[in-house]
Amino acid sequence: MTATDRAIELARAAAAAAADKKAENILALDVTQQTPLTDIFVLASASNERLVSAVADAIEDEMLERGSKAIAREGKREGRWIVLNFAEIYVHVMHEEERVYYDLERLYKDCPVVSLDA
Q: Evaluate if residue 118 carries a pLDDT over 70.
A: no
Question: Which structural domains are found in the chain, ordered by start?
Answer: 5-107 (3.30.460.10)
Rg, C-alpha atoms of the chain: 13
Q: Give the pLDDT band (50/70/90) at residue 67.
A: very high
How high does pLDDT run on average in the chain?
Answer: 96
**What integer pLDDT is reported at residue 81 of this predicted model?**
97
Q: Residue 54 above 70 pLDDT? A: yes
- Cβ neighbors of 111 (< 8 A, separation 6 or more) are 29, 30, 31, 33, 34, 41
Rounded average pLDDT over 43-50: 97
pLDDT-based confidence at residue 1 (cuts at 50, 70, 90): confident
- What's the predicted TM-score (pTM) here? 0.95
pLDDT band at 3 (very low <50, low <70, confident <90, very high): very high
Which has the closest alpha carbon to 40: 1, 69, 82, 74?
Answer: 1
Residue 57 confidence (pLDDT) above 70:
yes
Angle at 41 between CA 37 and CA 46, to 5 degrees: 140
Q: What is the mean pLDDT of residues 16-31?
A: 98
